[in-house]
Each structure stands twice: as C-alpha cells, then as structure tokens.
Amino acid sequence: MKLFTKYRQVNLIATSTILLVSALCYYMIVRQILIAQLDDDLTTEMQEVIDFVKTNDTLPLPVNNNAEQLFFTRVQQNIAGIHISTVPIFSLKENENEVFRQIEFPLSIKGKDYLATVREPQAETEDLIRYIVLVTISMLVVLLGILFFINRYLLKKLWDPFYKTLDELKTFSLSGKTKLNLQSNQVTEFAQLNEAVKSMASQVQQEYISLKMFTENASHEMQTPLAVIRSKMDNLVQDENLKADQLNQLNDIYQALGKLQHLMQSLLLLTRIENGQYVDNEIIPLDELIKEKCNQFHELFQSKNISLELNVQQKNIPFNKQLIDILLNNLLSNAARHTPEEGKIDVYLNELEFSICNSGENALNDKEIFNRFYKENNSPGMGLGLAIVKQICVFEHLHVSYNFHKRMHCFKISFMNSDSAQI
C-alpha cells in the first residue's frame, strides 16, 4: 500500500467521523436554541392572555391560524402550574401529523376554571434547522474536498525527495563504479536520510571492493608459494634413492597441490568475471569452436568409451574469447567426468540454444548445482566449474539451466537475453 493511500484512508475516516459528529451536535444545539425561542414566544403569548383576562375579566377570542392557535377548555378541576410540551396534531389540510409546541396554563374567571392552550407549529423551526444543517454539511464537504486536494498535491511535493532517493537506490549496484547521486535537501529529515544512505552506500561499496581485492590478491599471492612448492617437488622426485612408499606420499602431495592450484585459479577467475575484467566481445563462430573443443576432448571421451553425438548448426555469437573457451571447457570437462563408462554425450546447438547432455543415473539438485563449492557425493571436482559457467552466463546476460530427462543430465544455455539470468 502506498504511503498516500494509507494517509488518505486514515484522513478520510477521521474527517468523515468528525464531520458526522459535529453535524449531529450542531443539529441538536440549533434545535435546542430554536425551541427555547419558541417557548419564549409561547410564554409571552400566555402573559398577554393573562393580562387580558385580568383587565377585562373575560376570555379573549380563540385564535386558529397557520401561525398560532389559542383555545380554552372548561374544566372541573384545574391543573396546577404551566406545562410546555411538543404534541403531534392531525391536520386535515395536510392529511398528516403536524408537530406543535404548546403551552397549557390555568385561568379562572368568575369562579369558573379554564385550561388555556396556546400552540405554535414547530414545522417551521424544523425546516429552519434542516436548512441550516444542510448548508453546514455542504460547507464541510466542500472544505473536505479542498483539503483532500491540497493534501494530495502538497504531500506529493513534500515526499518527492524521498521518491528520488528511492529511485536512485534502486539503480545502485555494489560492483558498479558509480556513486549515489543524491541531491541536497532543505528538509532536515530528507537531508539526514540522504546523508545516511550515502555514507552507508559508500561504506558498503568500499568493503565490497576491498573484499574483492582481497580475494584477487590472496589468490594471486598464493601462486608464488605454490610455484615454489611445485618446483621443489619436481626436483625432489628426481632422487633415485626414493622408496616406493616415499614416492606414493610425494604423489599424494602432487595431487593435493594440483587441486589447490586449480582452486586458486578458479577463485581468481570468478573474481575477475565479477569485476567485469573480461569486456572485449568479439563475434565467435560457436559451431566451429564447439567442434574444435569436442575434438580436444575426444581422447578423454574415448578413454571411457563414451559416444559423442554432435548436432550443431552454424551460429555466431558475440562473446569474450577467453570466457567462451572456459565455458565450453568446463561444460565438457563436467560431462566427461560424470558420464559413466560406455555412456553417451549429446551436444546440440541451434539458433536459439546450446545444450550439452550426458547420461547419468539420478537427477541432481537443480537449485544448488550452480552454487559455489556445491558437490554431489563422490564428485572428484571442486564444485566451482558450474559456478563459473553460471557466472559467465550472468555476465553475458544468458540464461543457463539444468534438467534431468530420460536419464540424461542436460545443461542448456538459451541465447535469448534473459533478465532472470541476473542474480
């Protein structure tokens, strides 16, 4: 829910409630005042009647018109005091009940008791109230509307810096070289927000860069001691007096050394791809390159009696030469390593996609297979080959996927630029 929507909702509910309550109060108060006014009139009328009786010692003439009714009733036992009340009276003229305000008071003339009643219609008062309330409500509605629009535009303008900051943050990339471009703001809160975001972003960027530098430097610096170890080993094994047992141990060291070196190179490669150090794309005749690579791997396949089915159509693709080499090497090495003896490998290329499938027993975990250092049981590899493949595809905006179908592991690279390839 947007901030404005939320604010408008609260605003609407609050103002409507206040409006309704105040309209009700207003109605009650105005009504009370007008009825009091009516009662005053009735009392004045009563006083006039009493005065008339005192002066003339006779009843005045009854009155019956639209504005006022005055009549007298002969009673045996007179009531005590004055009664003011509201009564509905059926009117033949209007054919409905009309509301009147009446005052009843006792009169005594020549020993005879009378009940005098003065009535004034309350309808006029009610009408007046209605008009007043109507005008009031419409005024309030207009006021509310104006407030609503002011809020809407004012708020939008007020929050504008916030949305600008938000947009800027959306395009922010850790690995990017660009800094956040946040405009200074006169509103303290937004100025503080921008300051905080800026300092956080630059700190995060700095840490990210130094982390990357560290990975690169560490892998790089380790190459030299590795080179020393390897050269010493190369000299050491030349000793003709070495026993079988010692040679076996030296061989284990060699193997571990090979793994370590490979690991370093892979990490370095990953860092370099992430750093965007492979930028020069050229048009690669992919079909020819694939054939060439398959040729290179031919012996490796043959040693395990793997049959290779090559089905490639002509396809040129803009790609970095080194990266496409690494990509194909990794996919083919992967296939060669995991295909069982007498298995088969299918390599397929058309205008839209490139896929490489190899026979296997069980499906692999397609969620994790591209993760760094993820290894299926008994895999002799390091778990970086496919991570590198993924990283290269992400870098070149391609989508790589894995599936297991008809006892074949398939890695597919689709040439349609895909946003889902972004991590």
Partner 1 sequence: MKILIIEDEQQLAESMATYLSGENYICEIASTLQEARIRTELHSYDCILLDIGLPDGNGLTILHDLKADKKEDCVLIISAKDSLDDRVAGLQLGADDYLVKPFHLSELSARISAIIRRKNFNGNNKISFHEIELDTFLKTVSIGKNILELTKKEYELLLYFLINKGRVISKDAIATHLWGDEMDMTNNFDFIYTHIKNLRKKLADAGCGDYIKSVYGMGYRFTNS
Q: Which stretch binds partner 1 (CB under 8 A): 10-18, 243-251, 368-376, 397-405?
A: 243-251
* Segment interacting with partner 1 (CB under 8 A) among 32-40, 118-126, 231-239, 397-405: 231-239
| 342 part of the interface to partner 1, by CB under 8 A | no
Q: Considering the rule CB under 8 A, would residue 241 count as an interface residue with partner 1?
A: no
Residues 6+ apart with CB under 8 A from 12: 148
Count helices and strands in the chain by DSSP H and E runs: 7, 12
What is the per-residue DSSP string for 300-369? Answer: HHHHTT-EEEEEE---EEEEEHHHHHHHHHHHHHHHHHHSPTT-EEEEEE-SSEEEEEEE-SS---TTTT
Binding string, residues 13-52; x marks residues near partner 1 by CB under 8 A: ----------------------------------------
337 binds partner 1 (CB under 8 A): yes
The nearer residue to partner 1, 164 or 262, going by C-beta atoms, is 262
User: Which region among 15-23, 113-121, 296-304, 360-368 touches partner 1 (by CB under 8 A)?
Assistant: 296-304
Residue 410, SS3 per DSSP: strand
Q: How far is CA 168 from CA 165, 172, 196, 203, in A?
A: 5, 6, 14, 17
Cα dihedral 332/334/340/346 (nearest 10):
-40
- Quick one: which H or E segment has residue 85? strand 83-91
Please say which residue, 71 or 374, places its beta carbon nearer to partner 1.
374
Told to check if 380 binds partner 1 by CB under 8 A, we report: yes
> Residue 305 interacts with partner 1 (CB under 8 A)?
no
Q: To the nearest whole angstrom, how small is the minimum distance from the Cβ of residue 187 to partner 1? A: 48
Among 66-74, 166-174, 379-387, 404-412, which window interacts with partner 1 (CB under 8 A)? 379-387
Which of 206, 255 has the CB closer to partner 1? 255
Q: Least distance from C-beta 317 to partner 1, angstroms?
A: 19
CB 97 within 8 A of CB 91: yes
The verdict on 381 binding partner 1 (CB under 8 A) reads yes
Residue 347 CA from chain centroid, whole number: 43
Interatomic CA distance for residues 95 and 382, integer angstroms: 100
Q: Which residues bind partner 1 (CB under 8 A)?
A: 220, 223-224, 226-232, 234-235, 237-238, 244, 247-248, 250-251, 254-255, 258-259, 261-262, 265, 272, 277, 296-297, 299-300, 302-303, 322, 325-326, 329-330, 333, 336-337, 380-382, 385
